[in-house]
Chain A
Amino acid sequence: MSTFKLLSVPFLAIREVLRNLNLIELLELSQTSKKLSILISQAAKRQFEVILDCRPRCLTINTPRKSYHINLDKKVEGVMNIGSYKRHTSAGEQKMTLHWKKHWISLFYQIVRIFKCRVTAFYTGSFLSLNEFQLIMKFIMRRQSEIQQLHIRKNNIDEKFMLKILNTLAVRESLFLNSNSLPQNFHYKYGLNSISFWSCKWFTLNSLLATRSVTIELLGSSLTNEDLNVFLLGWKQGKYPRLAYLSIGSDSFNDSVPILGMMPPIRNENPNPEVIRMSFGNSVFSITGGVQIRRDDGMAAWIKFGKDDGLSPNLMKLSLIVGWKLVSKLNLIDVISELEQ
């Protein structure tokens, strides 16, 4: 049987053919020729969203109805496994494979370009090399001026490059940084829902007072007990109504200056302490053995201050969860923040 010359038919017909193919089939087709990949790009009416998550090595493409999760670990050489799901459900719908022989970053480029995708979130992970990170960031910065979520947990990023990222890309929802490469005088205005900064000596009391985030996580800051008192007094008076979670670790904390009139350590000494838990976005936060305090308007919160129970036992840390008590089951208490009500 003779072959069908797809490229010879009118564009209207090509567009109609493409409309009948799913995203993965279009990606296969885009590899056949440069002309076809351009036609696919022209025919793509809607902009999709891409989330590059290098923690579980996953590339997610969100279309209005479906999510495609591309596993970046090639179990079989040249083949990538994909699960497609209906949006907003985790139930598996369809397993597919994509033939892709090149590096996975080329696939990321191809997807973004062909489907005119916005990269809405980029999370670095341990398997991502510094070189790969820079390539991806440069690619994103060339194509867009903002991103919803940017989580950079890499070390040894060049100071100039890190500053360029923060100056080029406006982060809209959450910014997580391992910021040891930022200068001491770094100043950044945070209008974000969630921030999480590690190695943030540059984060001063003024930075904290200017922050209106819902969740704040600071590790390796230079904040002091006095700084905490200034901020927490403001919080008690209702200056930070959005705040739902605060966690600060600092080398400058000590156990000789009281916090909100309470001498450190501040913790519930009950041998079977309650676990207070709240979630925001995709993150879950918890405090075990916190002490309940209240804002002046009556809103409850649980605070804990002292030596960290976790990985850094010598580090002094403050944790605070604010919210309405929702469920009390055994010792686990879920709270809901004002923002989510």
Chain B
Amino acid sequence: MSCEEPTTSPTPENNITVVSSDGKEFLLDLKLTEQSETLARLISNFEYDRTDVKKDPVPLGNITSAQMQKIIEWLQHHRYYPKWEQNDIHYSTSFTFETWVEEYLNIPNNEMFELLNAANYLNIPRLFSTICRIMASRITGKSAEQIRTVLNIKTDVKNDVYTGIPIQEDSSSSEDGMSEISLSPSPPPI
């Protein structure tokens, strides 16, 4: 999908300033912030879309300037795309991406990881979903051993391959193991 980008002249009235965790300021067109549910809600709550309201800089403590730069690039490219719709249950996966997206996400995995966390924090569903599809495309068609390598998964499953009848239920996915997992893991050190 490609959209023509009409030229706009940014004015203070239709911009807000966001500040990254390392203190760098970015001037963001309000039109761009519509793609981020977090920013859109914030703007709506503080009525920053009104010209008579003073706009304080918005601190984004979880996002570095490098990540913010990358995100703005995404927002600019998708400025005139239709609003993102959540797929229904008949959603069919496609691992085909437009060339711009492939180039945009041709980045080291650690950067992709940071970008995913940033997309999650700012709630940019199109970016979030695209990164997740990229990750899924790296899993598809691979065996468990290959997936372990790609995703750097240290197995906690016993390696002994017993091909006889299981004496008892295999406990590898027992619900009892729930406590071992934190559902909101903290981001890894950057």
Same complex: yes
Decide if B128 touches A13 in the complex (CB within 8 Å): yes
Cα(A7)–Cα(B112), bound, Å? 14
* A35 close to B139 (CB less than 8 A): no
B149-187 Cβ-contact flags toward A at 8 Å (1 or 0): 111111111000111111001101111011011011101
A12–B120 CB distance below 8 A: yes
Which of B14-22, B24-32, B67-75, B140-148 contacts the other chain? B140-148
B3 at the interface (CB under 8 A from A): no
**A interface footprint on B118-141 (CB within 8 Å = 1, 0 otherwise):** 001000000011011101111111
How near does chain A come to B136, taking the closest CB pair, in angstroms?
A: 4
Q: Does A17 contact B (CB under 8 A)?
A: yes
Do B140 and A25 have beta carbons less than 8 Å apart? yes
Known: A8-B185, A35-B177. A3 touches B150 (CB 8 A): yes
Q: Is the CB of B173 within 8 A of A41?
A: yes
* Cβ contact within 8 Å between A16 and B108: no
Is A38 a contact of B178 with CB atoms below 8 Å? yes
Nearest Cβ on chain A to B183's Cβ, whole angstroms: 5
State whether the Cβ of A322 lies closer than 8 Å to any Cβ in chain B: no
* Known contacts A5-B113, A99-B143, A103-B163; A20/B132 CB under 8 A: yes
| Cβ-neighbour of B183 out of A11, A29, A65 (below 8 A) | A11
Q: What is the interface of chain A mostly: helix, strand, loop, or mixed?
A: helix
Whether, in the assembled complex, A36 has its beta carbon less than 8 Å from a beta carbon of chain B, the answer is yes
Within 8 A of B (CB), among A1-45: 1-13, 16-22, 25, 28-42
Closest-by-CB residue of B relative to A31 is B144
Kindly state whether residue A131 has any CB partner on chain B within 8 Å: yes
Contact A109 B109 (CB under 8 A): no
Q: CA of A322 to CA of B161 in the docked complex: distance in angstroms? A: 54
Q: Interface size on B (CB < 8 Å)? A: 60
B117 proximal to A (CB < 8 A): yes
Q: In the complex the two chains form, is B113's CB within 8 Å of A21's CB?
A: no
Do B185 and A10 touch across chains, with their CB atoms under 8 A apart?
yes
Contact of B116 among A9, A41, A131 (CB under 8 A): A9
Residues of B within 8 A of A135 (CB): 165-166
A110 at the interface (CB under 8 A from B): yes
Does B188 touch A at the CB level, under 8 Å? yes
Contact B173 A38 (CB under 8 A): yes
Residue in A1, A28, A31, A99 whose CB lies within 8 Å of B157: A31
- On B, residues with C-beta under 8 Å from A are 89-91, 93, 95, 108-110, 112-113, 116-117, 120, 128-129, 131-133, 135-144, 147-157, 161-166, 169-170, 172-175, 177-178, 180-181, 183-185, 187-188
Residue positions of A touching B, CB distance < 8 A: 1-13, 16-22, 25, 28-42, 64-65, 99, 101-103, 105-106, 109-110, 113-114, 129, 131-132, 135, 139
A–B Cβ pairs within 8 angstroms, 23 of them: A5-B188, A9-B113, A13-B116, A17-B135, A17-B139, A28-B144, A32-B153, A33-B155, A33-B157, A34-B156, A36-B153, A38-B173, A38-B175, A38-B181, A101-B163, A102-B170, A103-B162, A105-B166, A110-B170, A110-B173, A113-B173, A135-B166, A139-B169
